[in-house]
A and B are shown apart, each in its own frame.
Chain A
Amino acid sequence: MEDVKQSNIKQEIPDESDQSPGRTVPVNFSGQAGEFFGIWIVNILLSIVTLGIYSAWAKVRTHQYFYSNTEIDGHRFNYLATPMQILKGRILALILFIAYYVLTSYFPVAGAIAIVVMLFLSPWLINQGMRFHLRMTQYRNVRFSFEGSYGGALAHFILLPIMSVFTLYLAFPWVLKKIDEYLYSNIRYGDLPLQTKLSGSQYYLAALIVFVVSGMFGVVAMTVLSVSMGIGAMDPETTAVADPSPFAMAAVFAVYIVMIGLVTGIYESYIRNHIFANSKFDDVAEFESELSPFGYGMLHVTNALAIVFSLGLAYPWTKVRKSKYLADATKVTVLPGAEQVVDDKQDGNSAFGEEASQLFDMDIALT
């Protein structure tokens, strides 16, 4: 998620008004698959050998590699977290995770209480995670930050999604829009707020396309299945209900991977393009994203296939490729105020929230 995140930071673009006094510049990503492969594989090896301790160093090195290789207008991004910060956060998060796991697995009744506690803890963790991630992101020696409140996160991540159930999920695209608005409009660059105004219709459009595309894939998957079941049923020896053959299961799995990739790519590109076009740092930067939904979807699909067929070894290549693709689709209009942003220092950040939200699988990816 970090490269996505950093790209939304670099995302700036001007709107079509050519009279804006700024310069429109590309986002350059200079990472190389071969170079990152070495970092990645050594990171994994050292993490295993040190029983996980090195993973904190690994995380910092990976982030720093992608941040430093992302350049806008002659300036590179910077990842500021130190391995010790990550390690401490990771240990605290592990303790919480194990306590939670033990409680829910060994004591189902007490675990039910733990689940409720966790539900109310999660908005705080999400905020802390966002805050830490942005505080550790720096551009031109000025850090980003996140100003979301507990009430805001509770409303957007817990209450609204629950309420949308009662609308039979019809309100869900609108909820997604509210969530993005909450996330983006609480981003600060130095002392400057990101101004984001999103429109619900774009979310409904994206959701509709995703719905139609997944429906089509559902039909394909059913066809593959029924054809293979049909073949099974013709076997005179078989009297019981035929099970799908391994081949059919592989085919359905492949259809599933293609679907997930395409749908993710399509949704993310619509939303990213929309968010970038409607976000700006006043007098500092405006953004533009021109992702092609189909192209970006195919990127996800081919990346997933490359990972499967290389048994995971292609992962560094896919990550570099994706960052490059996102950077190439992004432009930033740098406005005169970019030289005068001030970092309103406030230190003492803990990585706990970010590490915990990652362990509990509720980390938030900025599109």
Chain B
Amino acid sequence: MITGQYYRAGHSECIEAVLEHSGQGIKVINGDTCLEQVGLDEVKVASPIPGVASEVVFVTGARFVPRDKHHRWQFGQSRLAEKLERSKAVIIGAVIAVPVALYLMFFHLLPAAAQASVHFVPDEVIEQMGSQAFLIIEKTMLDPSELEASVKSDIESDWNNALDTLKLDRERYQLGFYRSDVLGANAFALPNGQIVMTDELAELLKDNRHASLAVLLHEIGHVKHQHSVKMVAQSAGAAIVVAMLFGDLETSSEVLLGTGSVLIESAFSRDMEREADDYALNKLVLLGISPVAFADAMRALAKAHQLELGDGEESRQYLSTHPGISERIEYAEQFTPE
């Protein structure tokens, strides 16, 4: 005999009642009045939750809420989840396992899944993605090149020689020059193989043709590894995981979560930069050029963008989409090919 509150179906009226459970059925009684008399198959009891009264819901929509919130019925859904949630051993195990699992999820599973998904993206999609993105960048950030013809032809001949020696398709990889006040000295690659070098960068490196080429090889590395496609898959995956696991947070926690997402995304991006660096350094060696050319390019870029090398760089790294310049320079100078 369990005491509790009985609510009629679809009505706010509440009656103090007693529930009796015998082998074949359930009876809800208030004084002399029998409110319900049904078989066990005509009631539902959801999987119990710690600290929550276990309600009996009748097919009609009526419900019985036991007074004692710790009371558990001998019928209804499995109590496994509650047992786990109450077990000290499971909780302690979960406290240890969850960070490990999250780490594996974000830094191994997700990148691997993103990598695998890249192969399922058809070439036409990548072509479209590149050309549409290029259209937008061109309209908003790029102006026609005003580069000296000699500088341009030097870079172009280095570029063509490199493509041929490395057996890369000249049709696939297209190099373009643009002036850009927004980007300054910079280069970027689009997933369809379109690579852009700004006039500012070409000018900056015009006395060191190997450095120019090193930057372009880094951009080819991005295309080769299909980094843009991978980044999209990875960011979408991370957004979904976060929404599923921590969806119902309030404003201030969301700010923290947002910060966390930025950190994770920057980490993804830094890994890709390192991968592209590796590609460039390996190809430089293949072309018979010292990897130091890459370090020279980095130094020139750092100077052009007024970045300081050294102090404080490591601690800022976590917020950056690129690895620290000093780290990249050092890596290039000590590089030994695979």
Q: Separation in Å of the B99 CB from the closest CB of chain A?
A: 8
Q: Is A107 interfacial (CB-CB < 8 Å)? A: yes
Stretch at the interface among A173-181, A200-208, A217-225, A336-344: A336-344
Residues of A within 8 A of B46 (CB): 64
* B71: min CB distance to chain A, Å: 13
Q: How far, in angstroms, from A107 to B253 measured CA to CA in the complex? A: 33
Given contacts A75-B5, A141-B8, A257-B255, contact A90 B94 (CB under 8 A): no
* B94 pairs with A45, CB closer than 8 A: yes
Is the C-beta of B86 less than 8 angstroms from some C-beta in chain A?
yes
Cβ-defined contact, B101 with A49, below 8 A: yes
Which of B12, B129, B239 contacts A338 (CB under 8 A)?
B12
**Contacts A76-B65, A105-B232, A245-B312 given; does A47 touch B8 at CB 8 Å:** no
Asked whether B135 lies within 8 Å of A109 as measured between CB atoms, the reply is yes
Closest partner residue, chain A, to B306 (CB atom): A240
Residue of chain A at shortest CB distance from B13: A339
Q: Which residue of B lies closest to A358 (CB)?
A: B247
Chain B proximity of A86: nearest CB distance (Å): 11
Contact with A along B227-239 (1 / 0, CB 8 A): 0010010001001
User: Shortest CB–CB separation between residue A187 and chain B, in angstroms?
Assistant: 16
**Residue of B at shortest CB range from A45?**
B94
Q: Does A154 contact B (CB under 8 A)?
A: no
Digitize B106-138: 1 where CB-to-A-CB distance is under 8 Å, 0 elsewhere.
000000000000000100011011001101100
Find chain B residues with CB under 8 A from A46 CB. Answer: 81, 84
A39 touches B11 (CB 8 A): no
- B99: A residues at CB distance < 8 A: 311
B106 → A minimal CB distance (Å): 11
Q: Among B101, B105, B240, B319, which residue has the most Cβ atoms of chain A within 10 A?
A: B240
Let me know if A165 is at the binding interface, CB within 8 A. Answer: no
A260 and B128 contact, CB distance less than 8 A:
no
> A246 contacts B85, CB within 8 Å?
no
Assign chain A's interface to a size class.
Answer: 35 or more
Residues in B neighbouring A142, C-beta threshold 8 A? 10-12
Contacting A at CB under 8 A, from B307-329, are: 307-308, 312, 315-316, 319
Check B129–A106 contact: CB distance below 8 A: yes
Please name all residues of chain A whose beta carbon is closer than 8 Å to the beta carbon of B286 when the two chains form the complex. Answer: none
Q: B250 near A65 (CB under 8 angstroms)? A: no
With both chains docked as a complex, state the minimum distance between the C-beta of B138 and any C-beta of chain A, in angstroms: 12
Instruction: List, in ascending order, chain A residues with CB within 8 A of B69's CB.
Output: 68
| Complex: A245 Cα to B316 Cα, angstroms | 8
Q: Which chain B residues lie closer than 8 Å to A158 at the CB level?
A: none
Bound CA span A243–B255, Å: 24
- Closest chain B residue, CB of each to CB of A39: B85
Residues of B in contact (CB 8 Å), total 71
Interface residues in B160-204 (C-beta closer than 8 Å to A): none
Is the CB–CB distance between A42 and B12 below 8 Å? Answer: no
Contacts of A339 in B (CB 8 A): 12-14
A98 CA / B237 CA spacing, docked (Å) = 9
| A62 contacts across to B, CB distance below 8 A | 248
**Is A273 located at the chain interface by the 8 A CB criterion?**
no
List residues 1-20 of chain B with CB under 8 A from any CB of chain A. 5, 7-14
A107 and B191 CA atoms in complex are apart in Å by: 12
Q: Is B218 an interface residue (CB 8 A)?
A: no
| In the complex, per-residue mask of A17-36: 1 if CB is within 8 Å of any chain B CB, else 0 | 00000000000001110011
Question: How far, in angstroms, from A162 to B97 measured CA to CA in the complex?
Answer: 46
Task: Check A38–B245 contact: CB distance below 8 A.
Answer: no
Q: Which residues of the other chain, A, contact B51 by a CB distance below 8 angstroms?
A: 30-32, 35-36, 65, 68-69
Known: A47-B244, A141-B7, A260-B251. A106 touches B128 (CB 8 A): yes
Q: Which 5 pairs between the two chains have the least Cβ-Cβ distance?
A: A141-B7, A246-B315, A343-B10, A140-B12, A341-B12
Q: Can you list 7 residue pairs at the A/B interface with Cβ under 8 Å? A: A38-B90, A41-B94, A105-B129, A108-B132, A108-B135, A246-B315, A359-B240
